[in-house]
Amino acid sequence: MIMNSMGHSRPWRIESHAKINWSLRILGKRADGYHDLETLFQQITLHDVLTIERAGTLSMTCSAPDVPTDDTNLVMRAARALGAPPVSIVLEKRIPAGGGLGGGSSNAAATLRAIDTLFEMHNSADHLRALAAEIGSDVPFFLLGGTAYATGRGEVLTPLPSVAPVPLVLVLPRERVSTAEAFARITRYSKPIGVEEYRRMIDNDLLDHAASLTNDFEEAIFGVHPHLRAYKERLLRAGAAWAGMTGSGSTIVGAFRSQSVRDAALAQFGDVRAVSAETM
């Protein structure tokens, strides 16, 4: 979402939303070294904020000191890929880095969309998607948003009816799980469910199909970090209709049927950082 567009001489503020994976199945390893996935992406209300302003040179700063601001950051890679005019980009981080919530990929997509729109570059949607896929596997989803079925590395997308709004609790442990480490620990592959089955689940209340919403990373990661499994179990005991790890972790998500039950559950997590959010 682009807010406060006030002309090309003033800053623009852009919301950059996180995602969760309702389901994530690893189908096999590809010849190019990547893995084929099947996942159900969901955009949520938790978001970072980017402020973009004309400047003499392309530069970036970030409120989180552990987030790099050089060309290893996906924001800078997105700006350069688009051939951005010289701008300063200030990133206010609210999405924890490395937690499986897609913050870096979302930041990159927001940068692509904002610079293209604000500088009237008129890139086609196909071109922006191609750039997004080159930057990172999850980046194309964030150009789309909402609820989407994804295959390939996660970049082949089919929009689905929105699963919104569902109250969520996000448990945010300090531990970070590297995606490469998570893939290295995978010992077995799954069969795909298929887009039409996910569509049927959504049409018939997705939370009624919690048993089918699984994440193949959980078994491997919970073996190394058993307290993550404990957070999932606590969410379920607190009334979550579904709970699971998002991405390759370490964030554990609980989905609730009402805000009141969600808020009561959130209050039980005083020993670890936890925040509320909604699907969108």
Give the chain's mean pLDDT: 94
CATH number of the domain within which 143 lies: 3.30.230.10
Q: If you average pLDDT over residues 217-225, what whole number do you get?
A: 93
Instruction: Give residue 7's pLDDT band: very low, low, confident or very high (50, 70, 90).
Output: very low
Q: Do residues 149 and 174 both lie within one domain?
A: no
Among residues of the chain, what percentage have pLDDT more than 70?
Answer: 97
Q: Do residues 19 and 131 both lie within one domain?
A: yes
Q: Which residues make Cβ contacts (< 8 Å) with residue 53, sequence separation at least 6?
A: 10, 11, 12, 87, 88, 90
Query: 16-43, pLDDT tens digit by residue?
Result: 999 999 999 999 999 988 899 999 999 9
> Considering 160, 182, 202, which residue would you say is the last residue of a domain?
160
Q: Do residues 18 and 153 both lie within one domain?
A: yes
Note down the domain range covering 16.
Answer: 2-160
For CA atoms 80, 60, 114, 129, the dihedral sign is positive
> Considering 136, 160, 184, which residue would you say is the last residue of a domain?
160
Q: Do residues 19 and 152 both lie within one domain?
A: yes
pLDDT at 124 over 80: yes
β-sheet bridge partners, residue 27 = none
pLDDT at 201 over 60: yes
SS3 86: coil
CATH number of the domain within which 235 lies: 3.30.70.890
Q: Do residues 145 and 178 both lie within one domain?
A: no
pLDDT confidence of residue 6: 39
pLDDT at 50 over 60: yes
Reference 228, options 168, 272, 164; nearest CA is 272
pLDDT confidence of residue 236: 98
Q: Considering only 126-135, 155-164, 178-187, which range has the smallest mean pLDDT?
A: 178-187
Active-site hit among 48, 93, 116, 138: 138
pLDDT confidence of residue 76: 97
Q: Do residues 65 and 199 both lie within one domain?
A: no
Active-site hit among 19, 48, 93, 216: 19
pLDDT confidence of residue 150: 98
Q: Return the ∠ at Cα 168 (arms to 272 and 50), rounded to 5°.
A: 85
Q: Do residues 172 and 195 both lie within one domain?
A: yes
Q: Do residues 135 and 269 both lie within one domain?
A: no
Active site residue 66: no
Q: Do residues 216 and 99 both lie within one domain?
A: no
pLDDT at 183 over 60: yes
> Considering 160, 188, 207, which residue would you say is the last residue of a domain?
160
Instruction: Give residue 179's pLDDT band: very low, low, confident or very high (50, 70, 90).
Output: confident
Active site residue 216: no
Q: Give the residue with greater pLDDT, 34 vs 196.
A: 196
Q: If you average pLDDT over residues 183-189, what whole number do you get?
A: 90
Q: How far apart are CA 15 and CA 104, in angstroms?
A: 13
pLDDT at 5 over 50: no
Buried b (16+ CB within 10 A) or exposed e, 64-90: beebebeeebbbbbbbebbebeebbbb
How many structural domains comprise the chain? 2
Sequence letter at residue 176: R
Q: How far apart are CA 14 and CA 121, in angstroms?
A: 17
pLDDT at 4 over 90: no
Q: How far apart are CA 224 and CA 5, in angstroms?
A: 46
Q: Do residues 185 and 114 both lie within one domain?
A: no
Q: Do residues 7 and 55 both lie within one domain?
A: yes
Among residues of the chain, what percentage have pLDDT more than 90?
Answer: 86
Q: If you average pLDDT over residues 148-167, what whole number do you get?
A: 96
Q: Do residues 133 and 180 both lie within one domain?
A: no
pLDDT confidence of residue 9: 60
Q: How far apart are CA 96 and CA 102, in angstroms?
A: 9
